[in-house]
Amino acid sequence: MPKHEFDMIVIGGGAAGLTASGIAANFGAKTLMVEADRLGGDCTWTGCIPSKTLLKAGKVARQIVDAGKYGLIEGKPEIDFKKVMEHVDNVRREVYEDADRPEIFEEMGIEVVHGLASFKDPHTIDIEMKSGGIRTVSSRKFIIATGAKAFVPPIPGLDEVDYLTNESLFEIESLPDELLIIGGGPIGTEMSQAFANLGSKVTVVDMASTIMTNDDPELVEILKSELLKQGVKYELNASIKKIEQVEDRIKVHAEVDGAAKIIEGDALLMATGRRANSSSLNLEAAGVQTEKGNITVDESCRTNQKHIYAAGDVTGRYQFTHMSDHMAKIAATKALLRVVPMKIEKDQVTWVTFTSPELAHVGKTESQLKEEGVNFEVYRFPYSKIDRAVSEGEDIGLVKIFAKKLSGKILGATVVGAHAGEFISEYAVAIKNGVSMRGIADTIHPYPSWGLGARRAADQWYIKNQSAWSVKLIQTIFRYRGEIPDYSDKDRVV
């Protein structure tokens, strides 16, 4: 008789847990998936899906305001915010029904239970069942995929304020008149645009000197400029001293550029990062090591216990659904097949903030390459030269590619503009598979597509590798008589 009831127990039913459970079952492992709340996790219910749906609603409202530039009659959109939020919820439920509901995984042979899991020993967990009672089960192997929750810093007075996080934001029914957002990262930036376009007066407060500090500063300024045009205000270099609520007003007391200032609104969103959901797991009983609450894993997602793996936000490594999915594939495959050589793709991580314009990057950033002393060239291409962008009135943007001068090997890329997420996907494939700038430039792309912009940006490798002397040599050999371009212009774009 087998020593344990299950071959694999996956703790958590979000993006990482769903992927890990499906792979485990596909490998023939007897699998149990434990979820404390609803399958789908943060992405379906409080993250990617509702935020992008709300962004789309805001974008449509903005298009009505800007209709005049397309020769249409522009106007002020009439917004029924309650119906907007009903739409957000309907989309969440549609995604859940299509991809996340328990029956889908039960049909794969996975047992799905709802409850709070905690380790009893390295191979045993207790499940505090949602239906009542405690169930104790054991397994040969585990994957911990419990995700993360909103982190709220200890600001004086905040405990007395009725504030929002991403976990409560999508449950509100009334549009805030004046929304304060603390945090200028991806969540704060996306929601600032969504609510500004839906009619709120939005102010973003951050201690940094700019927003989106993990992205290319030049491209961040392009995005920030567009957000300012859409009505978002910023209080940067702000050190928050305390927050108070006076009746229906929220007051943020801050020191901005060295001067005391009170920033007021009627709603407050805390977009200050995330913290791993690990405290209830009783990891000490399993002997699993953590650092600042994050489960420590190696490059194959294995913890210090050889039969226990972890994937996704609970590791603190990446806060992206696509990376949770990637890590889950590695964790499940390594846990069950062991000898398969799989590691986390650290150098090909894609980052996208889905504002309008979108902001994205993959691979090494310009600052990282400079810090590492790598020799590289910067190839730039503006959206104003992409015909599809011009025809659709979305010609604000810039592509920057960092690559080796002679070989054209791509080391990283960053894009701000419409469909930047799709651009960055093409460069991610190129980096992963060793496709050079020349390889992209020589590949036929359809006209007039957005993807053609990715190719035309790669064309700049050819342009930069030309020189006056090489053209003179060609002229001499073939007796050509045209003018030689000005190759001294480093910003020349063709």
Look at residue 357 and tell me if it is in a domain: yes
Cα 152 from Cα 163, distance rounded (Å): 10
- For residue 331, being part of any structural domain is answered with yes
Q: For residue 3, what pLDDT is reported?
A: 85
Q: Who has greater pLDDT, 467 or 434?
A: 434
Q: Are residues 269 and 280 in the same domain?
A: no
Average pLDDT for the chain: 95
Evaluate if residue 192 carries a pLDDT over 60. yes
Return d(Cα 15, Cα 43) in angstroms, integer.
Answer: 7
- Is residue 28 within 8 Å of 337, Cβ to Cβ? no
pLDDT digits (tens, 9 = 90+) for 294-316: 999 999 999 999 999 999 999 99
Structure pTM?
A: 0.94
Of 344, 376, 395, the last residue of a domain is 344
- Judge if 374 and 296 occupy the same domain: no
What whole-number distance in Å separates Cα of residue 163 and Cα of residue 150? 12
For the ranges 3-7, 11-15, 225-229, 347-351, the lowest mean pLDDT is seen at 347-351
Same domain, 333 and 207: no
Phi, psi of 66, deg, nearest 5: -95, 15
- Closest by Cα among 261, 265, 241 to 251: 265
Q: For residues 10 and 139, state if they share a domain.
A: yes
- Helix ranges (DSSP H) in 39-101: 41-45, 48-65, 81-95
DSSP string, 213-261: TTS-HHHHHHHHHHHHHTT-EEE-SEEEEEEEEETTEEEEEEEETTEEE
Say if residue 353 is in the same domain as residue 287: no
**Judgement on whether residues 284 and 252 belong to the same structural domain of the protein:** no
Tens-digit pLDDT profile for residues 283-296: 999 999 999 999 99
* Residue 265 three-state SS: strand
C-beta separation of 453 from 391 below 8 A: no
Number of domains into which the chain is organized? 3
pLDDT digits (tens, 9 = 90+) for 258-279: 899 999 999 999 999 999 999 9
Q: Are residues 321 and 467 in the same domain?
A: no
Establish if 76 belongs to a structural domain.
no
Asked if residues 397 and 420 have their Cβ atoms less than 8 Å apart, the reply is yes
Cα 248 to Cα 168, 173, 177, 178, 257, distances in angstroms: 18, 16, 11, 11, 28
Residue 235: give the domain boundaries: 158-273
Same domain, 17 and 144: yes
Q: Domain of 383: which CATH number?
A: 3.30.390.30
Residue 449 sits in the same domain as residue 406: yes
Q: Which residues contact 186 (CB under 8 A, 6 or more apart)?
A: 212, 353
| Helix (H) / strand (E) containing 477 | helix 468-478
Q: Are residues 135 and 162 in the same domain?
A: no
Tokens of 377: 């060239």
Residue pLDDT, tens place only, 389-423: 999 999 999 999 999 999 999 999 999 999 999 99
Q: What angle do CA 192, 194, 200 make, to 5 degrees?
A: 70
Q: Which one has a higher pLDDT value, 473 or 156?
A: 156
| 385, 446: one domain | yes
Residues 448 and 414 in one domain: yes
Give the whole-angstrom CA distance, residue 313 versus residue 323: 9
Complete DSSP assignment for 271-313: ---EEES-GGG-HHHHT--EETTEEP--TTSB-SSTTEEE-GG
- Spatial CA neighbour of 404 closest among 431, 383, 386: 431
